[in-house]
Amino acid sequence: MCNEIGETLDNITPGMKKQWGGAFTETTSELVDRFGQSIETDLNFWQEDIIGSVAHARMLGAQGIITEEESKLIIDGLEKIHEEGPEFLHLDVEDVHTAIEVRLHEIIGPTAGKLHTARSRNDQVATDTRLYLHNELLVVFDLIKKLQGLLLDQGEMYKSALMPGYTHQQRAQPITLGFHLMAHFWSLQRHGWRAERLFELANYCPLGSAALAGTSFPIDRHATASELGFIAPIPSALDATSDRSYLLDALHLCGLIMIDLSRMSQEIVLFSGREFGFLKLSDSVTTGSSIMPQKRNPDMAELIRGRTGRALANWTTLATTMKGLPLGYNRDTQEDKPPLFDSMRKVKDSIKLMHLMLESADWQLDRMAASVRGDFSTATDLADYLASTGIPFRQAHEIVGKIVVGCNRLNCTLEDLTEETLAEMAPEVPVEALSVIQPEGSVKRRESLGAPGPKAIEAQIAHARRLWEAEGFHTIA
Ligand code: ARG
């Protein structure tokens, strides 16, 4: 018996087709087959598997390890599989590598068995996973840029729309909606930057490492690495087949992106509730209740928030898998892919959903502006004003505290203060101070770098737009 794929495969086991079995006299049980199967999740990277195989076959031909004709036959067959799509793959096999070889054998015959020369599934799967991550990161870059573009446009549009700014979830100082939205732009900028670093870190090629220790065939690892778009081959075959740290980085990145999307979602949930009433979500992104006809629920925001838990757990899952593994391929690492595929899908869907929710959001600008009044959020302006007249800030803080207590006693707000009431509460405060307690003025005066004042927010948006228009994700400077 020969364990070469193709001719002998059908004879190996009555059950699942395998890429091994020559030395086996007994067949595996159905449970063993099922427990070991990864074909369903593997289908996420069926295309990457074909692309990796095409590069390998081309290199085998160029190096004279197989003939040029055999190489061409294999490549044409692989391209045919790519064209016809995954529906033609047999799913009663262990993994996608087997499925593609089985299909190749159906298309080109026994020459299919030569594809696996100087290769193992260990370097093959590591290559597929790196290619998959590479392609997914390109999509993530694009989605991040798009969401940032929306935030920039809305930041510009609402740059002077007043809203309360919060600390401790209590009204703190007036800001604008544009200023608020722009803060999210920067967190996405950091994620894009991180994703680019990861893209580079992971962009090295394991192909040709074979099972763990390379091969005696005269392969050209530089050729396959460069055809596949990698920077270079990974220098150690043993490291190349063992390393999964770049996947932990990927899961960590996904977790970080989800954390920020979850925080944005939390704002959407709060702001769209009647208590805040800052935001009406469009029907297209909300759901109703089966019992309460009036309900419009922010389910998508809640699900992003909810699924963030699983995205974070995915990192722990793989880290826990990896921590006990010695060098060399261990089957445990098959468990790297379900969390990876899951986290990548979640991140992509969640960025898209966030885009949809914000794009169609109906911001209740009047309501937001009205809620800034009467909340004492210009108390800091009053203290700043007194400090600017030479009173030490600590003392100014005391005086304003006294005025706040006075207002509470009179049941009035800061904006209601008159010259008389002010003189009564704090005679040491000049009447000019009254000019700083309107929220519009409060925002307008805060022009320090990074503040919401009209010039400062213009500058921030211009800075952000420059970075956004540039290719890739530069850091903030
Ligand atoms: N499904 C396997 C994985 O994801 C493919 C590699 C199998 N290698 C092996 N030596 N059994 O890791």
Q: Write the DSSP assignment of 373-420 as a string of letters.
A: TTS-TTHHHHHHHHHHTT--HHHHHHHHHHHHHHHHHHT--GGG--HH
> Beta strand pairing status for 162-167 and 362-363?
unpaired
Q: Residue 122 Cα, ligand 1 centroid: separation in angstroms?
A: 6
pLDDT > 90: percent of the chain: 78
Decide if pLDDT at 13 tops 80.
no
Q: Give a three-class secondary structure readout of 54-120.
A: HHHHHHHHHCCCCCHHHHHHHHHHHHHHHHHCHHHCCCCECCHHHHHHHHHHHHHHHHHHHCCCCCC
Question: What is the C-alpha to C-alpha distance for residues 66 and 58, in angstroms, rounded to an integer?
Answer: 9
Whose alpha carbon is nearest atom 10 of ligand 1?
Answer: 122
Pocket test for ligand 1, best of 331, 337, 340, 341 (most atoms within 8 A of CB): 331
Choice among 4-18, 211-225, 454-468 with the minimum mean pLDDT = 4-18
Q: Residue 334 Cα, ligand 1 centroid: separation in angstroms?
A: 6
What DSSP state is assigned to residue 318? H
Q: Which domains does the chain have, with CATH numbers?
A: 30-117 (1.10.275.10), 123-208+235-369 (1.20.200.10), 371-469 (1.10.40.30)
Mean pLDDT along residues 355-364: 96
- Vertex 227: Cα angle to 222 and 231 (nearest 5): 60
Nearest atom in ligand 1 to 94's CA: 1
Question: What is the C-alpha to C-alpha distance for residues 165 and 459, in angstroms, rounded to an integer?
Answer: 20
335 lines ligand 1 (CB under 6 A): no
Q: Residue 426 Cα, ligand 1 centroid: separation in angstroms?
A: 77
Per-residue pLDDT tens digits for 40-85: 999 999 999 999 999 999 999 999 999 999 999 999 999 999 999 9
Please count the other Cβ atoms lying within 10 Å of the Cβ belonging to residue 468: 19
Q: Residue 239 Cα, ligand 1 centroid: separation in angstroms?
A: 16
> Beta strand pairing status for 232-233 and 204-205?
parallel
Decide if pLDDT at 324 tops 60.
yes
122 lines ligand 1 (CB under 6 A): yes
Task: Answer yes or no: are the C-beta atoms of 434 and 417 closer than 8 Å.
Answer: yes
Banded pLDDT at 15 (limits 50, 70, 90): low
242 lines ligand 1 (CB under 6 A): no
56 lines ligand 1 (CB under 6 A): no
What DSSP state is assigned to residue 428? T
Measured CA to CA in angstroms, residue 343 lies from 201, 304, 339, 347, 355 at distances of 19, 12, 6, 6, 18
Banded pLDDT at 437 (limits 50, 70, 90): confident
Choice among 206-220, 306-320, 395-409 with the minimum mean pLDDT = 395-409
329 lines ligand 1 (CB under 6 A): yes
Choice among 179-188, 434-443, 453-462 with the minimum mean pLDDT = 434-443
Nearest atom in ligand 1 to 38's CA: 1
95 lines ligand 1 (CB under 6 A): yes
Decide if pLDDT at 227 tops 90.
yes
Catalytic residues: 168, 289
Mean pLDDT along residues 295-308: 93
3-state SS, residue 246? helix
What DSSP state is assigned to residue 276? T
Question: What is the C-alpha to C-alpha distance for residues 44 and 341, in angstroms, rounded to an integer?
Answer: 7
Task: Answer yes or no: are the C-beta atoms of 170 and 184 closer than 8 Å.
Answer: no
38 lines ligand 1 (CB under 6 A): yes
Question: What is the C-alpha to C-alpha distance for residues 133 and 203, in angstroms, rounded to an integer?
Answer: 9
Per-residue pLDDT tens digits for 156-189: 999 999 999 999 999 999 999 999 999 999 999 9
> Beta strand pairing status for 279-280 and 362-363?
antiparallel
Please count the other Cβ atoms lying within 10 Å of the Cβ belonging to residue 40: 11
Choice among 136-145, 357-366, 385-394 with the minimum mean pLDDT = 385-394
3-state SS, residue 277? coil
Decide if pLDDT at 8 tops 50.
no
Decide if pLDDT at 5 tops 50.
no
Decide if pLDDT at 9 tops 60.
no
Q: Residue 328 Cα, ligand 1 centroid: separation in angstroms?
A: 12
Q: Residue 121 Cα, ligand 1 centroid: separation in angstroms?
A: 6
3-state SS, residue 122? helix
Question: What is the C-alpha to C-alpha distance for residues 77 and 100, in angstroms, rounded to an integer?
Answer: 10
Question: What is the C-alpha to C-alpha distance for residues 54 and 71, in angstroms, rounded to an integer?
Answer: 9
Per-residue pLDDT tens digits for 233-270: 999 999 999 999 999 999 999 999 999 999 999 999 99
Decide if pLDDT at 392 tops 70.
yes
- What's the token pair of residue 310? 């699983």
List the one residue out of 175, 184, 176 whose CA is nearest residue 150: 184
Q: Residue 120 Cα, ligand 1 centroid: separation in angstroms?
A: 9
Q: What is the pLDDT of residue 477?
A: 54
- Average confidence score pLDDT of the chain: 93
Higher pLDDT: 412 or 365? It is: 365
121 lines ligand 1 (CB under 6 A): yes
Q: What is the pLDDT of residue 22?
A: 77
Pocket test for ligand 1, best of 125, 129, 212, 325 (most atoms within 8 A of CB): 125
372 — alpha (psi -120 to 50), left (phi > 0) or beta? alpha
Question: What is the C-alpha to C-alpha distance for residues 476 and 460, in angstroms, rounded to an integer?
Answer: 11
333 lines ligand 1 (CB under 6 A): yes
